[in-house]
Amino acid sequence: MKVADKVIIVTGAGSGIGRELVLLLLSKRALVAGVDLNKTSLDETANLASNIGGRFAGFVTTVADKSAVSALPEKVLEHFGMVDGVINNAGIIQPFVKLNDLDFTTIERVFNVNFYGTLYVIKAFLPILLNRPEAHIANLSSMGGFVSVPGQAIYCAAKAAVKLMSEGLDSELAHTNVRVTIVFPGAIATNIRENSGVSNPETSANGKRSQALSAADAARIIVRGIEDDAHHVFVGRDASLMDKFYRLSPLGATRAIATRMRALLAE
């Protein structure tokens, strides 16, 4: 689906990949409804967006709040009159601790934002998308959605759930006007750690200090995938290589990551 003149929802629009998606979509003549729980960050995105044609509206909403998300379509339709696409970008990671040491409050928060937040947004907007001439849903999973990272077991489980739900959704929508893209970012230079309340040093999946792809580059890859109606989109060389490694040897890939990530976890 070409994004020009389409109304696109972007969750997590206040920073990182979400903000770059907003700005890129606007530069390609889309209209964008940005969703974020942080009003200050969302206002900053709106200020940047005001320099690119004024086709942006921000909606302060917590995607993990089912009632708030259910009320969102009416607000977006009142402003834009239609919705053609959804990019489920909002997400958080967990503290780098072992599953045995992770409290249930954190476990539920990570799943509520990453999986249920994605689900709530899809359920809220899919009936609208099905009535459009063409429409698109892009869900951000993660490299951790197909190969798990020690110390991120619950985050990876939530992103794997996003992957499988999205693949099932794509099959269900195969004979409709709605296409589904599943996005697998590797190491991206964003503030996801701070937004998640995680203070550990940023590292890539190979355990080294990350030589991360910029959020702007990630946004370009994602939007290109949407416009190409791509099914799977791997964002970053690390994600592409790890996908190939995992397909050849699932155990080898997970053990390699475990070995290199060991320093982050207290024994």
- Residue written as token pair 């834009």: 80
Full domain range(s) for residue 73: 7-264
Structure tokens at 143: 């490299």
Structure tokens at 232: 């799977």
Q: Which of 20, 26, 45 is nearest to 220 (CA)?
A: 20
- Domain assignment of residue 2, yes or no: no
Task: Look over the chain and give the mean of its residue pLDDT values, rounded to a whole number.
Answer: 91
CATH value at residue 39: 3.40.50.720
Which member of 116, 120, 155, 246 is catalytic? Answer: 155
Indicate the helix (H) or strand (E) that contains 124: helix 117-129
- Domain assignment of residue 247, yes or no: yes
Map residue 210 onto helix, strand or coil.
coil
- Domain assignment of residue 71, yes or no: yes
Is 246 one of the catalytic residues?
A: no
pLDDT value at position 20?
A: 98
- Domain assignment of residue 111, yes or no: yes
What's the pTM?
Answer: 0.90
Q: Tell me: the pLDDT tens digits for 46-71?
A: 999 998 777 999 999 999 999 999 99
Q: Tell me: the pLDDT tens digits for 157-197?
A: 999 999 999 999 999 999 999 999 999 999 898 665 555 55
- Domain assignment of residue 163, yes or no: yes
Structure tokens at 21: 């998606």
pLDDT value at position 202?
A: 46
Split into its structural domains, the chain has a count of 1
The vertex-214 CA angle with 112 and 106, nearest 5°, equals: 20
Cβ 34 vs Cβ 59: under 8 Å: yes
